[in-house]
Structure 1
Amino acid sequence: NVLALTMYTDLFAKDLKGLIKKVPYLKEMGITYLHLMPLLSMPKKENDGGYAVSDFNTVDEKFGNNDDLASLTKSLRAEGISLCLDFVMNHTSSEHSWAKEAKMGKVEYQERYLCYSDRTLPDSFESTVPQVFPSSAPGNFTWCEEMGKWVFTSFYPFQWDLNYKNPKVLNEMLYSMLSLANLGVEIFRLDAVPYIWKELGTNCRNLPQVHTIVRLIRLVLECVCPTVILKGEVVMAPKELAAYFGTVEKPECHLLYNVSTMVNLWSALASQKVTLLKSQVDALLSLPKHCEFLNYVRCHDDIGWGLDEDKERELGMDPLEHKKFLYNFFSGKFNNSYSRGELYNYDSVTQDARSCGTCASLCGFESASTEKELDKAIKRFLLMYSTMFALKGFPMINSGDEIGQLNDYSYANKEDSRNVHRSFYVWQKAERRKQKGSIEYRIFNSLKKLEEIRANSPLFVSDAVVSTWDSQNEKVFALRRTKGEEDMLIVSNFSDKQELCKFEYFIGEYKDLFAGKVVVPGWGFAIDSHEVRYLEKIK
């Protein structure tokens, strides 16, 4: 019975002390797992939202201090809430003390990064290593004038990649992780972990040494603080995911972010077809039983359209044209699109781009001009969240989604369109969650209903059997959950029209836990546009 919430501390409550005062609200939501975006010491300007860390041992003064963090974790734990923090594995800020020492010419600190006097080795790396941000941060190396050397920078020039071939790096990073655990942090999100090992002649992604390092971290944690959880951020193809869990005998991460299902949910919403979604969920369900995911609809980051291109081709789709359709649809540029979002990292050469926006704006709240259109937008929103809540694993809400918060186009940094969905929490809207009939009331209480179903049904325990099921309709997605004699069928219509669906081998009557309707899935039934039914077998 885990329900997660992710947020920026400053946008939600200004600082850690302010967040402590908001713990009753988190309790009201039913949150048991709080993920705070980066809050360790960072440069004031070039910090990538906190993912350029200048001191892994100290809370940034903007949020408070280490004592405030310890007070927060104590307050959260008293209410049964565990705290998750990001731990940036791949790089430090160029203003980190190690980087400053390296710039002064101290070899010991230069060896904690990957520094090169000429372009020989950088050019060799560039021939095999893809660029993360080819338009906004081209190349994988940055020239440092103070050192007179090139530095490996996979992401942005102010984020210097660490050299894990130097054992001092892992030792120091482990020290910082354990220090945060001593302050009460119970879950670490390992940011950009697939990138941490560099080897000439490879793409420097998902290399075997990465797994050795994660395994070492897991071993240390199990010895020193065995209840601490590792959650990996692995934005890679499904075939790469299983390795990050390790094996039952030699485990690595406890959890992974379920990025690929999130992407496929949005793809299904725009295309009104669930074939890719079903294929991707099937792939994840085929992983070993110890593989657990944290599922979500939106988070702090963009939506990168990393779909299964082989499957797209098999279905007769052009992957690039499909990607272009998706990012144009969710930016509102596609004809008759209800969605409102912004492009991120558009590349005019490759025509690649990502999408940004809040769940509400992407689902049509912002563009709705009539009550009927708004009702449709709310149905789309609840379709996305209800389907996500049904998946194997644990659900996570993005702060602001529970009250239908919209895009904020007043963001200061126009170069980073992700800030359109990183806006201040609107507490006036949150107050309207108590007003029956309001948008906020409808959304807040619908999410509470989903939470209640998960908490009270034996079909959402970790050992329940979960599988997709053929609805005999390419617009209708279905999951089946079973445990002993208990049986539930979750049916999601991604079409904007009423659809018919039928489920072979289902015998008897099933009752919808939302509307109370009774159907016989084996006979087939009609499901309204963007409707989701949680059908529990009547004994």
Structure 2
Amino acid sequence: MVSPSSQDDSNVRSQLCQHLRFLYPEANAEELADSVIAIFDDFQPQIPLPLNQLWSEQDCLLITYGDSIVDGDVAPLETLDQFLSQHLQGAVSAVHVLPFCPFSSDDGFAVIDYAQVNSKLGDWSQISSISDRYRLMADIVINHCSSQSQWFQNYCDGVEPGATYFMEASAGDDLSAVVRPRASPLLRPTKTANGLKHVWCTFSHDQVDLDFRNPQVLLEFLKIVRLYLQQGVSIFRLDAIGFLWKESGTSCIHLPQTHEVVRLIRTVTDSFAPGTLLITETNVPNHENLTYFGNRNEAHVIYNFSLAPLLVHALLTGKTEYLKRWMMSMPPAPVGCTYLNFTASHDGIGMRPAEGLLSDEEQLQLVETVRSFGGKVSTRRTEGGGERVYELNVALFDALQGTVAGTDQWQVERFLCSQTVMMGLEGIPAFYIHSLLATGNDLDGVAATDQNRSINRHKWGWSDLQEHLGDDRSVHAQVFRELTRRMQLRRRHAPFHPNATQFTLQLSEPFFAYWRQSTDRSQSIFCVYNMTNQVQELRLSDLNLISTDVWYDAISGLRFDEQTSVLELTPYQSLWITNR
């Protein structure tokens, strides 16, 4: 530890005042800054890591609910820890445990009490146990909280804390341009001690939006950040952050004040807990998502939301043009920033990030194909009052059970290809637990909850899972073993550093390919993927391999000699052609 100098303390206070004056021009910024500093008064700044050491090719993230695996009366967080120890050592470096607090709906995203661990999952000691061995990522569900929270009960009763914590709307407010991810009514009539009020609910009427125009709400969430840091959390996912600040007459998404709140949280974590990472969850069109890097002063990491719909589209159609076009348009992440690459999540495959990248016809074909494979579709309300597809709800393994022509025998190969593409891209790869386990659509879960998203939120019994993973004939074992093998392979190759050079290769239509080069330029990897269910010929001369180097495929171990000129790639085969 290094004690902060008075100069450092003065600089932090000055930065906080700058943020706070912008957010709360009528308030006393100096007093608010002192309140922020007081929250972290016993957090001693450490010497921060250089920007090029925040992550490496060794990093890979697992996304899971605390109870994705259950074992009778054993605390699910303890079972998760056991699964990590037995099956994922040497494969993942970080774990995102989805909301683990007491909640009332949305599988954790309607938080009742941010300061507690849901007793059905375990307790803080089990959260800390995971953080002892992995970088731990936790959600700050910052836009809204549960209508069953004490804050909201206090709001209804007219007492603090809570009486002034929630976003209200009045009859004169212009809400015509509000962008939302749901088709439900925006406002919820609520009886309070001060009469009937209409509270803002971006997501559902059980998830009531907080009013960050009140600085006390900001201070409450900084206390939550402080608590989570104490418990070992080192990556914070700012959930639904784009909707945070609302103003009548605007779209109420990505407002300047929202970006300023992110910058303030970044200043706080950089100052009091260097090495802590911020990731913003903004399931929106690509150009909007990129703004959350800010000027390298907002998110360290942003989700690569467009990857999932474009990659699934390419694998279902065999067309790579849209995926290539997007790849070529993506800027390298700024220094000290990177992307989080993922192909599946607890929600679904977001379609908003495909807007402007896939035509309406291509999107419709994708939707109908996924539906034919048992998937569901969720919609959102548009500005004109209509509805549009918001996300595809489907287990990714089942989404890839065939092509637009129907099911075929290449499901496993197609799925492995999807994950291998994601693994090789610029950024940090993130695997949803049900992708690693090749879990299929949970239609029973959908029937039980009447929620489309339950289709990809299956709960495995620990003994049942162990039996499957121990059975060589099980598709779950086959996919899991090959994916973890490739995850471990990836860690050995410097060109897979999240910020290593990436260049899209212009091969023929059946192929999607890109070149990665290590930051010291000593190693190259040509990543080539057959995106079709047909055998395809690849001419190595098209890759311009340096003739003085020895080249081989890191995945299969196949070595190429001077006589090798043409390779036959089987359906959905992946190659990582490297010189080291």
Amino acid at match of 2:440: L
Amino acid at match of 1:60: N
Aligned partners of 1:496 and 1:530 also within 8 Å: yes
Mapped pair 1:205 → 2:253: yes
Aligned partners of 2:179 and 2:253 also within 8 Å: no
- Alpha-carbon displacement from aligned partner over 1:55-75 (angstroms, at most 9, x marks no partner): 1111122223xxx3234323x
Deviates more, 1:80-89 or 1:9-18: 9-18
The structure 2 residue matched to 1:322, chosen from 362, 366, 379, is: 362
Unaligned runs of 5+ in 1: 313-318, 333-338
Partners of 2:538 and 2:351 in 1: how far apart?
Answer: 28
Task: Identify if the C-alpha distance between structure 1 residues 245 and 496 changes in structure 2 by more than 3 Å, giving closer, same or farther.
Answer: same
- Alpha-carbon displacement from aligned partner over 1:232-256 (angstroms, at most 9, x marks no partner): 11112222233312324xx221212
Q: CA shift at 1:77, angstroms?
A: 4.2
TM-score, length basis structure 2:
0.80
Partners of 2:252 and 2:190 in 1: how far apart?
Answer: 22
- Report the secondary structure of 2:307's partner residue: helix
Aligned partners of 2:179 and 2:251 also within 8 Å: yes
Task: Return the structure number with greater relative CO, CA threshold 8 A, min gap 6.
Answer: 2
In the alignment of these two chains, the number of paired residues is 504
What pairs up with 1:387-536 in 2 under 5 angstroms? Answer: 387-411=421-445, 412-427=447-462, 428-471=464-507, 473-483=508-518, 484-502=521-539, 503=542, 505-508=544-547, 510-518=551-559, 525-536=567-578
- Report the secondary structure of 2:137's partner residue: strand
The structure 2 residue matched to 1:42, chosen from 103, 106, 112, is: 103
Q: CA shift at 1:491, angstroms?
A: 0.6
Aligned partners of 1:292 and 1:393 also within 8 Å: yes
Partners of 2:310 and 2:166 in 1: how far apart?
Answer: 36
Unaligned runs of 5+ in 2: 1-57
Deviates more, 1:321-330 or 1:407-416: 407-416
The structure 1 residue matched to 2:393, chosen from 339, 356, 361, is: 356
Amino acid at match of 2:551: Y
1:119 corresponds in structure 2 to 171
1:52 corresponds in structure 2 to 110
| Structural RMSD (CA) | 2.8
Task: Identify if the C-alpha distance between structure 1 residues 445 and 257 changes in structure 2 by more than 3 Å, giving closer, same or farther.
Answer: same
Aligned partners of 1:33 and 1:83 also within 8 Å: yes
Partners of 1:17 and 1:379 in 2: how far apart?
Answer: 33
Mapped pair 1:132 → 2:181: yes
The structure 2 residue matched to 1:94, chosen from 147, 150, 156, is: 147
- Alpha-carbon displacement from aligned partner over 1:204-250 (angstroms, at most 9, x marks no partner): 111111111111111112222223221111112222233312324xx
TM-score, length basis structure 1:
0.86
Aligned partners of 2:434 and 2:456 also within 8 Å: no
Aligned partners of 2:284 and 2:353 also within 8 Å: no
- Report the secondary structure of 2:233's partner residue: coil
Partners of 2:468 and 2:354 in 1: how far apart?
Answer: 41
Task: Identify if the C-alpha distance between structure 1 residues 96 and 429 changes in structure 2 by more than 3 Å, giving closer, same or farther.
Answer: closer
Aligned partners of 2:333 and 2:499 also within 8 Å: no
What pairs up with 1:25-424 in 2 under 5 angstroms? Answer: 25-28=86-89, 30-43=91-104, 47-64=105-122, 68-74=123-129, 76-78=130-132, 80-106=133-159, 109-116=162-169, 118-121=170-173, 124=174, 126-134=175-183, 137-138=184-185, 140-146=186-192, 147-248=195-296, 251-312=297-358, 319-332=359-372, 339-345=373-379, 350=387, 352=389, 354-364=391-401, 373-374=408-409, 376-411=410-445, 412-424=447-459
- Report the secondary structure of 2:115's partner residue: strand
1:316 corresponds in structure 2 to none
Deviates more, 1:488-497 or 1:234-243: 234-243
Q: CA shift at 1:167, angstroms?
A: 0.6
- Report the secondary structure of 1:189's partner residue: strand
Partners of 1:478 and 1:418 in 2: how far apart?
Answer: 32
Partners of 2:90 and 2:413 in 1: how far apart?
Answer: 21
- Alpha-carbon displacement from aligned partner over 1:342-361 (angstroms, at most 9, x marks no partner): 22348895453532222222
- Report the secondary structure of 1:534's partner residue: strand
Q: CA shift at 1:417, angstroms?
A: 1.3
Partners of 2:485 and 2:176 in 1: how far apart?
Answer: 52
